[in-house]
Amino acid sequence: MQNPLFAAVLSEMATLLDLENENVFRVRAYQRAAQIIEVLPKDIEAMSKEDLMSIEGIGKGIADKAYEFVKTGRVKEHLDLRKKFPEGLLSLLKVPGLGPRRARLLYDNLAIDSPEKLRLAAAQGRLNQLRGFGKKIEEKIVKGLTLSEETSKRILLWEARSLMQGMLEVVRGMPGVVQAEPAGSLRRGKETVGDLDILCAASRPETVSKKFSAMPFVKQVLAVGPTKVSVLLANNAQCDLRVVDPACFGAALLYFTGSKEHNVALRERAQGLGLTLSEYGLFRLSDRKQAKPLAGKTEEDVYKRLGLQFIPPELRENRGEIAASAEKRLPDLVEEKDIKGCFHNHTLESDGVDSLEDMVKAARSKGWEWYAVGDHSQSLKIAKGLEPSRLKKKLAKLSEAAKKNKDIRVLSASEVDILNDGRLDYEDDLLKRLDIVVGSVHSGFHQPEEQITKRILSAMENPHVDCIAHLSGRLLGKREPYKFNIDKIIERAARTGTALEINGQPERQDLNDVHARAVKDGGAPLAANTDAHSRDQLGFMSLAVTVARRAWVEKKDLLNTKTWPELQEWLKSR
> Given the rule CB under 5 A, which residues bind Ca ion?
184-185, 195, 197, 240
Does 435 engage in binding with ligand DGT (CB under 6 A)? no
Which of 45/507 has CB closer to Zn ion?
Answer: 507
Does 478 engage in binding with ligand DGT (CB under 6 A)? no
Q: Which of 249, 568, 569 has its CA nearest to residue 411?
A: 568
What is the rounded distance in angstroms from the CA atom of residue 202 to the CA atom of residue 205? 6
Which of 70/232 has CB closer to Ca ion?
Answer: 232
Does 530 engage in binding with Zn ion (CB under 5 A)? no
In the three-class reduction of DSSP (H, G, I as helix; E, B as strand; rest coil), residue 229 is classed as strand
Does 313 engage in binding with ligand DGT (CB under 6 A)? no
| Minimum distance, C-beta of residue 469 to Zn ion, in the bound complex (Å) | 5
For residue 510, with 0-12 CB atoms within 10 Å meaning exposed, 13-18 middle and 19 or more buried, which class applies?
Answer: buried
Which of 241/315 has CB closer to Ca ion?
Answer: 241
Sole window of 236-244, 425-433, 440-448, 459-467 interacting with Zn ion (rule: CB under 5 A): 440-448
Does 500 engage in binding with ligand DGT (CB under 6 A)? no
DSSP run (H or E) holding 180: strand 177-183
Binding mask 175-214 for ligand DGT (x = CB under 6 A): ---------xx----x--xxx-x-----------------
Does 552 engage in binding with ligand DGT (CB under 6 A)? no
Give the number of residues in contact with Zn ion, rule: CB under 5 A: 1
Q: Which residue is nearest to Zn ion (CB)?
A: 440
Which of 195/510 has CB closer to ligand DGT?
Answer: 195
| Minimum distance, C-beta of residue 145 to ligand DGT, in the bound complex (Å) | 21
Does 318 engage in binding with ligand DGT (CB under 6 A)? no
Does 482 engage in binding with ligand DGT (CB under 6 A)? no
Give the number of residues in contact with ligand DGT, rule: CB under 6 A: 14
What is the rounded distance in angstroms from the CA atom of residue 507 to the CA atom of residue 124? 33
For residue 424, with 0-12 CB atoms within 10 Å meaning exposed, 13-18 middle and 19 or more buried, which class applies?
Answer: buried
Does 546 engage in binding with ligand DGT (CB under 6 A)? no
| Minimum distance, C-beta of residue 481 to ligand DGT, in the bound complex (Å) | 20
Q: What single-letter DSSP state applies at residue 385?
A: P
What is the rounded distance in angstroms from the CA atom of residue 271 to the CA atom of residue 289? 16
Which of 45/507 has CB closer to ligand DGT?
Answer: 507
Q: Is the peptide bond before 157 cis (omega within 30 degrees of 0)?
A: no
256 binds, among ligand DGT, Zn ion, Ca ion, none (CB under 5 to 8 A by kind): ligand DGT
Q: Which residues have CB under 8 Å from 562's CB, separation 6+? A: 340, 341, 570
Distances (CA, A) of 326 to 269, 296, 304, 307: 10, 19, 10, 7
Does 350 engage in binding with Zn ion (CB under 5 A)? no
Which of 192/325 has CB closer to Ca ion?
Answer: 192
| Minimum distance, C-beta of residue 182 to ligand DGT, in the bound complex (Å) | 10
For residue 119, with 0-12 CB atoms within 10 Å meaning exposed, 13-18 middle and 19 or more buried, which class applies?
Answer: middle
Q: Which residues have CB under 8 Å from 307's CB, separation 6+? A: 273, 326
What is the rounded distance in angstroms from the CA atom of residue 476 to the CA atom of residue 485? 20
440 binds, among Zn ion, ligand DGT, Ca ion, none (CB under 5 to 8 A by kind): Zn ion
Which of 11/512 has CB closer to Zn ion?
Answer: 512
> In sequence order, what are the beta bridge partners of 241?
198, 229
Which of 205/352 has CB closer to Zn ion?
Answer: 352
216 binds, among ligand DGT, Ca ion, Zn ion, none (CB under 5 to 8 A by kind): none
DSSP run (H or E) holding 240: strand 238-244
| Minimum distance, C-beta of residue 532 to Zn ion, in the bound complex (Å) | 12
Q: Among 440, 453, 512, 561, which residue interacts with Zn ion (rule: CB under 5 A)?
A: 440
- Per 3-state DSSP, the chain is made up of helix, strand and coil in percentages (nearest 5) of 50, 15, 35
Our CA dihedral for 426, 429, 431, 433, rounded to 10 degrees, sits at -140
Angle in degrees, CA 488, 492, 497, rounded to 5:
150
Sole window of 26-34, 419-427, 439-447, 450-458 interacting with Zn ion (rule: CB under 5 A): 439-447
349 binds, among Zn ion, ligand DGT, Ca ion, none (CB under 5 to 8 A by kind): none
Q: Which residues have CB under 8 Å from 444's CB, separation 6+? A: 420, 451, 452, 455
Q: Which residues have CB under 8 Å from 534's CB, separation 6+? A: 39, 352, 353, 354
What residues between 241 and 270 interact with ligand DGT by CB under 6 A? 255-256, 258-260, 263-264
Angle in degrees, CA 126, 130, 134, rounded to 5:
85
| Minimum distance, C-beta of residue 536 to Zn ion, in the bound complex (Å) | 18
Which of 263/530 has CB closer to ligand DGT?
Answer: 263
Residues that bind ligand DGT (CB under 6 A): 184-185, 190, 193-195, 197, 255-256, 258-260, 263-264
**What does the binding site for Zn ion look like in residue numbers (CB under 5 A)?**
440
